[in-house]
């Protein structure tokens, strides 16, 4: 069975619903995980997604900020939400797919939106950065993010850290910029290792090849400058590592009219 799973920080799902629809018609993912939906659950455009073939939705949203959702052509068995740092700020949702989706063995998907962290990489003077540090530490210590050796699981989303040297346009110039500071890179990598997760994107495109999923709105000519960062990630449990047949970064969507600053990333799995 082939399964396509997409992650995309859409930066307001209602504002960019037509762009999402265009992507869906072109790529046809089975499961679409969105972040920064900026939409309360009762205002989410479910009818539009059902017309596009996504009859199943797990929502965790709020007005104006954050928000994560899993939309699926396949029914899931259950979903749950986990809060981090004592905040109910809609940054995680988990879905489990099983027999109803035609799977012999269950598949768990964790969809995350990690705090961005503000502009100053000093937790003593920047509460947003302190929140980000605490969030990454809780991810590291979270028992539910440590799949068993036989468990098929995926952790994906906007993790807001570009952890490797070639995940940014200039390693030296980015060392003091939030998203690529040494402490962030260390904490995200430690969280990944603690859970036994495999960085599928870098398995398919090893360093030193540059790999980006985000380009700043501040750049007047983002395509020419190409000063990107890999902030969006797809991790798999070890048992799924060799089941990832392809990873596609749809860079062209950054050049759309009224784009998100992130682009869709799609993993194709052979289950």
DSSP state of 117: -
Total domains, the chain: 1
Whole-Å CA distances, 34 to 4, 20, 109, 113, 262: 14, 10, 12, 9, 11
Q: Are 138 and 86 in contact (CB under 8 A)?
A: no
Longest dimension (CA), the chain: 51
Residue-level pLDDT at 187: 98
**Domain at 216, CATH number:** 3.60.10.10
Instruction: Record the pTM.
Output: 0.98
Residue-level pLDDT at 220: 82
Residue-level pLDDT at 227: 97
Closest CA to 9 of 118, 111, 116, 158: 158
Closest CA to 189 of 171, 177, 202, 176: 202
Pull the structure tokens for residue 218: 């501040």
User: What is the C-alpha separation between 164 and 171, in angstroms, rounded?
Assistant: 8
Q: What is the mean pLDDT of each run of 10 residues along the chain (271 residues)?
A: 97 98 98 98 98 98 97 98 96 98 97 98 98 98 96 98 98 98 98 98 98 94 96 98 97 97 98 93
Q: Is the Cα dihedral 242, 269, 58, 214 positive or negative?
A: positive
Q: What is the pLDDT of residues 24-61, one digit of tens each?
A: 999 999 999 999 999 999 999 999 999 999 999 999 99
Q: Are 34 and 55 in contact (CB under 8 A)?
A: no
The count of other CB atoms within 10 Å of the CB of residue 227 is 16
Residue-level pLDDT at 65: 96
Considering the chain, what percentage of its residues have pLDDT values greater than 90? 99
Q: What is the pLDDT of residues 106-121, one digit of tens each?
A: 999 999 999 999 999 9
Residue-level pLDDT at 70: 98
Could you tell me the residue range of the domain that residue 132 belongs to? 2-270
* Residue that the structure tokens 């939906």 belong to: 37
User: What is the C-alpha separation between 7 and 157, in angstroms, rounded?
Assistant: 6
Closest CA to 171 of 184, 161, 186, 181: 181
């Amino acid at each position: 069975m082939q399964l396509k799973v997409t992650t995309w920080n859409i930066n307001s799902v209602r504002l960019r619903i037509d762009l999402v629809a265009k992507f869906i018609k072109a790529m046809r993912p089975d499961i679409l995980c969105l972040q920064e939906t900026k939409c309360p659950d009762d205002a989410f455009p479910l009818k539009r997604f059902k017309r596009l073939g996504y009859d199943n939705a797990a929502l965790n949203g709020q007005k104006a900020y954050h928000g994560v959702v899993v939309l699926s052509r396949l029914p899931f068995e259950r979903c749950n939400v986990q809060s981090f740092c004592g905040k109910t700020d809609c940054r995680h949702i988990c879905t489990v797919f099983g027999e109803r989706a035609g799977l012999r063995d269950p598949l768990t998907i964790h969809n995350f939106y990690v705090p961005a962290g503000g502009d100053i990489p000093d937790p003593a003077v920047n509460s947003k950065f302190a929140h980000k540090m605490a969030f990454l530490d809780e991810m590291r210590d979270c028992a539910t993010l440590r799949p068993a050796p036989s468990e098929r699981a995926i952790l994906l989303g906007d993790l807001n850290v570009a952890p490797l040297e070639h995940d940014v346009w200039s390693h030296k110039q980015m060392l003091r910029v939030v998203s690529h500071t040494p402490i962030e890179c260390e904490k995200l990598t430690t969280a990944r290792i603690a859970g036994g997760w495999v960085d599928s994107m870098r398995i398919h495109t090893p360093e030193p090849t540059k790999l980006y999923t985000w380009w700043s709105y501040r750049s007047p000519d983002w395509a020419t400058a190409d000063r990107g960062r890999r902030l969006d990630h797809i991790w798999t449990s070890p048992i799924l590592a060799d089941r990832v047949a392809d990873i596609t970064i749809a860079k062209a969507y950054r050049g759309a009219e009224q784009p998100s600053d992130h682009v869709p990333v799609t993993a194709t799995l052979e289950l």
